Amino acid sequence: MARAIAPDEILRIVAEEELLQEPPVYGRVAVRGPIAALWWGLRVYVLLMAALIAIGFTRGLH
Amino acid sequence: MDSSNLRALEEALPRDVRQRAQDRAEIRRAREAGGLWARLRILLLVLGPGILVMIADNDAGGVITYAQTGASYGLGFFVPFLVLMIPVAFVVQEMTVRLGAVTRRGHAEMIFMRYGRFWGTFSAVDLVIANALTLVTEFIGIGAGLHAFGVPLPVGVLVGLAAVLLVTLVGRYRLWERISLWIALLNIVFVPLALLAHPDWSAVARSFGTWQVEGGLTSGFLMLLLANLGTTIAPWMLFFQQSAVVDKGLSPREMRLGRLDTLLGGIVMGAVAVAIVILAATVMHGLPGQNGLNISQILQAVGRRIGPIAQSLFALGLIEAGLIAAMAITASTSWAAGEALGLKVRSLNAKPRDAIAFYLPGVIAASVAALVVLIPNAPLGFLNVVVQVLATVFMPAALLFLLLLVNDREVMGEYRNTRLQNVAAIGIVGMLIVMDGAFGASILLPHLLG
């Protein structure tokens, strides 16, 4: 059977591995260049699929 | 400081932090012990998210898709295709391990932080809806599997729901994961079943050389090809594994083992998928009405050709497939909703009474899905189509976000994708986007495929 974990060991791990600290916060990334093109591609894809869904449903998709 | 003070300090820690620290302590002890046994113990402690996500991907819908594939197309094309899907799934899922271990944040949360509220909300809402609808198909599988043992469908579905909720609400990530892994072991039942069917192994071996498509490239073949692809990589898998890695508390130091976990899971997933195709090809291919078999027809065919015990084992595998996927998707729903809502406590280590807002989305999704299955004459086929359409719309976005995040220098630092990883990932993501788009179009406009 595994040895019980003492409170001091738990507290040491919490401190060393910064388990009480919030994970790093990342700011919003600037979307430009090829990423901006990708973004637009994604928007077009979503709109295209939305249009396909609409067409599919009007043709009695089920 | 005396021991009572230390104990008081430890007890003052939030429960999820305390539980995670206990898990980390076990890994540290094994690491300090050294030796082969200790290394094996570390591996066993780290194993979990990768194996679970891959096995849960062989869900009830997946089992039926593989069986229909084998019945319709035999051994020719799909056996080597599904083997090829193992590295594909690995490349995609491995990125979530790195992202989770480095950022200690879930996938939905990272999309919110880096790409803003619109794409964050789009991802989270789409995922929760798709998860709820996918859960419907899992409960259909559980109900159908239990029905083979004489359990009435409504009772079977409610038993399945009770099991899912019971495991989800245990209040300890490690326990939830270990119960899930034991249940997931049953997925392997399809391998001995395939052996019991006495397949033509020389035909299996030949298929790797020929990749022969029986009947040529028809629209039916393309539909099944896309359906098989869709069962290999699904949006919920990305969110699930990243959140599971975070909740388990894996650090970059365990990344190598996290990769191994994912690889092992991928191999099991591929082996089981291939076993189901071989089984179905052996017992159903070439029979009249081999195309589009439903669950009960598949079960009957297995029983007729291999025997009643094999039929029961197949039903057991179906129950397991539905159950493990339902458990994983329920957890994934809670994690994603918790991240989107910015909840402070969003861990399976939290006691349900202390984290109602975290558990509630998963519980509601599972309960609603089970109740939908019980509605007489519910349009279950239609719901299945909606699930596929949502996944189709969502998958390219989820994959693009994943690829951008693992290439983000500020986020990933030294752990960002290498050139080789990018070549593999971009190739796979590009293929998945094109094929997912084609799949969506084929569902919505079936006449496009002729």
pLDDT the model gives residue B167: 97
Does the pLDDT of residue B384 top 70, yes or no? no
Domain B47-449, CATH 1.20.1740.10 — does that match? yes
Average pLDDT over chain B, rounded to an integer: 89
Residue contact A62–B382, C-beta within 8 A: yes
Of the pLDDT bands very low, low, confident and very high (cuts 50, 70, 90), residue B400 is confident
- Beta strand spans in B93-185 (E): none
Amino acid occupying residue B295: I
Instruction: Render pLDDT for B314-328 as a digit per residue (tens, 0 to 9).
Output: 999 999 999 999 999
d(CA B295, CA B301): 10
Does the pLDDT of residue A41 top 90, yes or no? no
Q: What is the CA radius of gyration of chain B?
A: 22
Q: Please tell me which residue, B435 or B359, carries the higher pLDDT value.
A: B359
What interhelical angle do B235-248 and B78-103 show, nearest 10?
40
Does the pLDDT of residue A54 top 50, yes or no? yes
For residue B409, the number of C-alpha atoms closer than 13 Å in the C-beta half-sphere is 0
Q: What is the 3-state secondary structure (H, E, C) of B372-428?
A: HHHCCCCCHHHHHHHHHHHHHHHHHHHHHHHHHHHCCHHHHHHHCCCHHHHHHHHHH
Range of the domain at A62: 28-62
d(CA B81, CA B109): 34
What is the mean predicted confidence (pLDDT) over B338-346? 90
Question: Hey, which residues 1-60 in chain A have their CB within 8 Å of chain B?
Answer: 2-3, 5-11, 13-14, 17, 19-20, 23-29, 31, 35, 38, 42, 45-46, 49-50, 52-53, 55-56, 59
Question: What are the extents of the domains in chain B?
Answer: 47-449
Does the pLDDT of residue A1 top 50, yes or no? no
Amino acid occupying residue B238: L
Does the pLDDT of residue B156 top 80, yes or no? yes
In-domain check, residue A19 = no
Query: Best residue in B4, B9, B10 to probe A by mutation, most A CBs within 10 Å?
Result: B10
User: pLDDT > 70: what percent of chain B?
Assistant: 95
CA dihedral B246→B250→B254→B257, nearest 10 degrees, is: -70
For residue B42, the number of C-alpha atoms closer than 13 Å in the C-beta half-sphere is 20
Of the pLDDT bands very low, low, confident and very high (cuts 50, 70, 90), residue A48 is confident
Q: Which residue has the tokens 């040895």?
A: A3
Residue contact A9–B25, C-beta within 8 A: yes
What is the mean predicted confidence (pLDDT) over B117-132? 87
pLDDT the model gives residue B287: 77
pLDDT the model gives residue B294: 82
ipTM rounded to 2 decimals: 0.80
Instruction: Render pLDDT for B412-422 as a digit per residue (tens, 0 to 9).
Output: 999 999 999 99
Using DSSP, state whether B175 is helix, strand or coil.
helix
d(CA A51, CA B67): 33
Question: Looking at beta carbons, which residues of chain B come within 8 Å of A46?
Answer: 122, 393, 397
Of the pLDDT bands very low, low, confident and very high (cuts 50, 70, 90), residue A3 is low
Closest CA to A8 of B222, B3, B56, B406: B3
pLDDT the model gives residue B231: 78
In-domain check, residue A56 = yes
B155, B322, B440, B443 from B386: Cα distances, Å: 26, 19, 10, 9
pLDDT the model gives residue B450: 52
Q: Which residue of B has its CA nearest to A57?
A: B444
Classify residue A29 by burial, with Cβ atoms within 10 Å: 0-12, 13-18, 19+.
Answer: middle
Of the pLDDT bands very low, low, confident and very high (cuts 50, 70, 90), residue B446 is low
Residue contact A10–B443, C-beta within 8 A: no
What is the mean predicted confidence (pLDDT) over B75-98? 92
In-domain check, residue A2 = no
In-domain check, residue A5 = no
Return the percent helix, strand and coil in chain B, to nearest 5. 85, 0, 15
Closest CA to B254 of B13, B15, B41: B41
Closest CA to A17 of B32, B17, B9, B11: B17
Residue B58 is classified by DSSP as S
Task: Report the first-to-last Cα separation within chain A, whole angstroms.
Answer: 56
d(CA B139, CA B432): 27
Closest CA to B348 of B112, B125, B172, B187: B172
pTM of the model: 0.89
pLDDT the model gives residue B99: 96
Q: Please tell me which residue, B38 or B193, carries the higher pLDDT value.
A: B193
Average pLDDT over chain A, rounded to an integer: 80
d(CA B160, CA B370): 8
How many A-B residue pairs are in contact by the CB < 8 A criterion?
104
Q: Which residue of B has its CA nearest to A20?
A: B17
pLDDT the model gives residue B381: 67
Task: Specify whether the CB–CB gap between B400 and A46 falls below 8 A.
Answer: no
Does the pLDDT of residue A60 top 70, yes or no? no
pLDDT the model gives residue B444: 67
Task: Domain count for chain A, please give it.
Answer: 1
What is the mean predicted confidence (pLDDT) over B208-215? 83
